[in-house]
Chains A and B, each alone.
Chain A
């Protein structure tokens, strides 16, 4: 009984984590410096957010210099480098935040519920923003990327398996081809499919677009799959061979399931590589302003082509529509990432 009592009376603590009080204390200095920088920006020649950021950085740097000067050379160096490195990390965030900010600020005007399920068949590009939508482009992009993934994922994984599991005589050749494929300009991929598929079938089509996207997607998927498969411990292969497994069964049942989440990542990287591609679609899938579900004949809409076409028109409302389209595209890619991470991340470990 006494043991139980002591167990309940002991409060679990985490002495290695900074206390709330010291956390608040640590915030005071940067906050004051922030206010100081803001005041200087307000009353002097420095202007705008970049001026504020620069001032803030310099003031923090000066402050940490003053603070740790007396603590010796090593501590001084440490605190200065801390400031510089943190500043660098934040600076790397800046373009990302800036893109996000401009997409939201310029894109949100055009977004209303109907934007997601309407098309542009009876709406002119510079009609009011509460008319028409991007639904046809979402569907078109979805169809083309789906087909491209269905073509690329098996091929990419198979080539990864060839490079890491089979390790056949052509390993070097395959690796070289995959690497040089990743250097193919996207417009060249479009041109290639145009001359081979579009010209022979005598029609632009979503399928032709998918093929062009596949060319761009394959190297990404194959290389990622190879990198991921390389991480499988040799132990596991040995264990399955010692159980009397043939190589293809070992690859299929042991190696590939072990890296399922990595292969999902390969697929996502491939999709996000091509979902925003415009150039290969200009020559293959073209664009259309209405819904279309058949990928095998005639033009089909897509997100990047929607954005591209509206930007080219250049009126106020068409530009606003393009920005909204870009925002939607970005959110779709983001959602894809989240969903795929969830699906693939459930590794039994």
Chain B
């Protein structure tokens, strides 16, 4: 019990930092504005292994939040909890609330499939559907969720353009998705997740397997996306975090469950962080 109490204390401290950071935050959600996202006291377990402890974070709308931290600190797990992909792991368990526009997405009445339409995800490894063409891949989300769209070609062009892939593939839309290079496949996956028009896009190290050129393209795409939707990105790359994100959240695990050390505007995190561990990490002293 004493453990939980100390965790609660840290969380309060963290909560304050977050509130300072997002004063312009999510409270007022006007109809055409993207949905706000917030976590309250989120924990995660795999079996009896406690991997995340008491994470309180708010994700400001139309911005990019980078989740940074060394391997094994639970940032990917945290990301997967934001659209309930966590529950596909058989031994997984959780506690706390993930609020989308003020409503807990883990509430029993919530339809997970419907919720994931609004909170899309791009994975670490490019995973286009091998049995589909490039065009079918882009439209797959619409088909899978049985959405009605009047002009398919328009959607394909728009999404591929937003993902920075249109020029390269416009002449071979009927080629297999697997025939593209790794970087192109990843951008195809981004286009695919944009086609269902999510309000929030979660990206799990989307550039970890890509060359610098493709990485740059995807970062440009993320910048453009942030004008309309909320992006949360997990990254191991400090330069990428500083280039691409408006806000950063630093996770750390010292053998026990991962905790949120500090969250703030990216510039402050990289120049004048409050916690010395954050300073050490962003300067590359460990991790």
Contacts and interface: CB of A to CB of B under 8 A. Distances in A.
A348 B178 CA distance: 8
A105 B5 CA distance: 87
Nearest to B111: A246
Interface in B119-145: 120-121, 123, 125, 127, 129-133, 140-141, 143-145
A244 B127 contact: no
B196 interface: yes
B244 to A, nearest CB: 21
A99 interface: no
Interface stretch (A59-67, A108-116, A253-261, A265-273): A253-261
A240 B133 CA distance: 15
A349 B131 CA distance: 7
B248 interface: no
A244 B144 contact: yes
Pick from A239, A245, A258 the residue with the most CB of B within 10 Å: A239
Contacts of A233: 127
Interface in A107-158: none
B132 to A, nearest CB: 7
Query: Which bracket fits the contact residues of B?
Result: 20 to 34
Interface string A217-238: 0000000000000000101111
Given A239-B129, A242-B120, A349-B130, A254 B140 contact: yes
B127 A239 contact: yes
A235 B115 CA distance: 19
A332 to B, nearest CB: 30
A250 interface: yes
Main secondary structure of the interface of A (DSSP, over half): helix
Interface in B42-87: 83, 85
A81 interface: no
Contacts of A348: 130-133, 176, 178
Contacts of B131: 254, 257-258, 260, 347-348
A75 interface: no
A69 interface: no
B162 interface: no
Contacts of B115: 244
A241 interface: yes
B212 to A, nearest CB: 24
A249 interface: yes
A243 B145 contact: yes
B113 interface: yes
A241 B88 CA distance: 10
Pick from B113, B130, B131, B140 the residue with the most CB of A within 10 Å: B131
Contacts of B116: 241-244
B57 to A, nearest CB: 20
